[in-house]
Amino acid sequence: MFAYIVRRLLLIIPTLFGIMVINFAIVQVAPGGPVEQTIAELEGRGISATARISSGGGETVGGGGSENSHYRGARGLDPEFVKEIEKLYGFDKPPVERFIDMMKHYVRFDFGDSFFKGRPVVDLVIEKFPVSISLGLWTTLLMYLISIPLGIKKAVKDGSRFDIWTSVVIITGNAIPSFLFAVLLIVLFAGGSFVQWFPLRGLVSDNWTDLAWPQRILDYFWHLALPLAALLVGSFASLTMLTKNSFLEQINQQYVITARAKGLTERRVLYGHVFRNAMLIVIAGFPSAFIGILFTSSLLIEIIFSLDGLGQLGYEAVINRDYPIVFATTYFFTLLGLVMNLVGDITYTLVDPRIDFESRRV
């Protein structure tokens, strides 16, 4: 197992490098880079959607349009001044050199400063991280706590009325986009048109620090109720059906028939024998499921509910062409995703020690 882990860790390096190369190359052809944003700001044509340029510069991180010295709207500006703007953002160097410098910094987890916020990217990510962690952790935990028992129940009652109706409900929920359900929840329960039982924005109330600990906990979950409901509505289907199918496959195996013939109770057969084998693929998928919910599904939810997390930060960075944040978060979360995939493989061996990865080449 140790040799397999070492091989997988070594494989992370070229995979991560390739992903960063592709993202960097795509950005080079994207219009409206930070230099153009700055020129537009100086001429009163601000194209920045959520931020304004600060006095802070950035590391040598590349972005689109930097190698083109003829920026739209720059004709009335002194060419030397435009070059100073390029130098401010590190765009006075060729793209290849910028990429190499960027990766040298990233290997040391030095992500530089935000172009438009004037603060270290690491500080911004750490500041926003608790909000996204709250959404991802609770969504994943509730999804597993509900989907696994539901999937087992559906497998035991396969073909029954319970199985049919629950399938209709979860498939319908899966067909509804989470952001659309979020808007519906706001309209119904957050003062949109009917009642205002839940807050519309934020993770905690403004007076949260003044509350006692029991009240803080209640206030925290009160603010999380609608965002979690929006994220969960479409999260049950795949995991529930995966659990059901895994159990159905194992229930028909010979060892289950043998266990029943020995006189074991149905509960003992189900949870003492079937559960371990059926849960292999479900439990091993937990790390990747958490990463997926944390860094993809919560993006629109954070924006809709005005939750100041990583999704909101990434959205603002893309709109403002804040490339240090864009590339740094891409690098960090890609690395985290690759590591979590390895954790998923290790989880297989923890659930069932009979699995041996040593014979695999990758």
Which CATH number is 154's domain given?
Answer: 1.10.3720.10
Q: Which residues on adjacent β-strands are paired with residue 120?
A: 113
Does residue 65 belong to any structural domain of this protein? no
* 2 vs 4: CA distance, rounded Å: 5
φ and ψ of 47, to 5 deg: -110, 5
* Sign of the CA dihedral running 302, 61, 63, 321: positive
Q: Do 136 and 293 touch, CB atoms closer than 8 A?
A: yes
> What is the per-residue burial (b if ≥16 Cβ within 10 Å, else e) of 238-270?
ebbbbbbbbbbebbeeeebeebeeeeeeeeebb
110 located within any domain: no
Residue 15 falls inside a structural domain? no
DSSP 8-state symbol, 120? B
- Residue 266 is assigned to a structural domain of this protein: yes
SS3 of residue 332 by DSSP: helix
8 A C-beta contact, residue 116 and residue 48? yes
Task: Indicate the residue type of 171.
Answer: I
pLDDT of residue 21: 92
User: At 83, which amino acid appears?
Assistant: K
Is 38 among the domain residues?
A: no
Exposure string for 109-125, b = 16+ CB within 10 A, e = fewer? eebbbbbbbeebbeebb
| 32 occurs within a structural domain | no
pLDDT in tens, the chain (362 residues): 778 788 888 889 999 999 999 988 887 777 767 777 777 766 655 554 444 434 344 444 455 444 444 555 555 566 777 777 777 777 777 888 888 988 998 888 888 888 878 889 989 888 888 888 888 888 888 888 888 889 888 988 888 999 999 999 888 888 888 888 888 888 888 876 677 888 877 788 888 888 888 888 898 889 888 888 888 887 788 888 888 888 888 887 888 888 878 877 777 887 777 877 777 767 766 766 767 666 665 678 888 888 888 888 888 888 888 888 888 888 888 888 888 878 877 777 776 666 666 655 54
CA-CA distance, 298 to 178, in Å (whole number)?
A: 9
Residue 132, in any domain of the structure: yes
C-alpha pair distances (Å), 123 with each of 58, 117, 120, 313: 14, 11, 5, 12
Question: How many domains does the chain fold into?
Answer: 1
pLDDT at 66: 40
- SS3 of the chain: helix, strand, coil, percent, to 5: 70, 0, 30
> Residue 18 CB: number of other CB atoms within 10 A?
10
Paired tokens of 71: 């920026």
Does residue 27 lie within any of the structural domains? no
pTM for the whole structure: 0.73
pLDDT of residue 164: 92
Give CA–CA dist 358/195, Å, rounded: 58
Please report the pLDDT score of residue 296 as a whole number: 61
* pLDDT at residue 49, rounded to an integer: 44
For residue 162, the one-letter residue type is F
Produce one character per residue of 160-194: b if its CB has 16 or more CB atoms within 10 Å, e if not. eeebeebeeebeebbeeebbebbbebbeebbeeee
Q: Which amino acid is at 139?
A: T
Residue 341: give the domain boundaries: 123-351
Residue 51: what pLDDT? 41
pLDDT at 14: 92
Q: What is the pLDDT of residue 58?
A: 42
